[in-house]
Amino acid sequence: MGSNLCVKHFPEPIIYISEEPMCKKCVPEYLEKIKKSKSESGDESKNNEEVTDKLAQLFGTQQNAFTSEKSLVNNSLIKLEDFRGDFRYINDEIDDRVTESKQNLEDLPELMCQIFATCEKTMKTHKEAFLDELDDVINKQVASFRRDNETKVPNFYERLSKKYTQLQQATSLADTMTSSEIIETLN
């Protein structure tokens, strides 16, 4: 972990590695060092200029670094305020639910009694309606049986007695006839 942190500005992370690792606070110092060495020696190689330009483009001057840090801090503060607002609403909702739960617990016995009373009333009314419907069905069946006894049963006995007499006649006829006569009548 120590290799990822700047040696000069201890808690700062290393963001650029050239000749030596640098953090965002080391970059402006490095740029100043290069400018001083450039001013002291008239001939500076193009390589140092390119490196300086790239670093300046990447990290800008110290003022740009400060503004970028400031904007990052401002963005973080905005996000923190948003979180606090969201958390406040969530916390308010939790508080509302807690109070509602407490009210429900206090009102629960009364509510349960009301529910049971309503259920009993409903059962009584539906029980009476069910018994009335059952009585209607039974009365209709009794009436149907009565009609059948009055109309169908006497006719049934008449038809049954006719069939019985026909069967007796056929049996007596068969007894009187011989088997040869039966075969002749069948053919």
Q: Is the pTM of this model over 0.75?
A: no
Q: Give the pLDDT of residue 140.
A: 93
Domain segments of the chain as ranges: 2-60
What integer pLDDT is reported at residue 51 of this predicted model?
A: 65
- Mean pLDDT per 10-residue segment, the chain (187 residues): 66 69 76 74 59 62 59 80 76 86 82 88 87 91 86 79 88 74 68
How high is the pLDDT of residue 172? 82
Query: What are residue 41's phi and psi, to 5 degrees?
Result: -105, 125
Q: Is 28 exposed, middle or buried (0-12, 13-18, 19+ CB in 10 A)?
A: buried
Q: What is the pLDDT of residue 138?
A: 92
Contact residues for 62 (Cβ-Cβ < 8 A; gap 6+)? 28
Burial class for 9, CB neighbours closer than 10 Å (0-12, 13-18, 19+): middle
Q: What is the pLDDT of residue 105?
A: 81
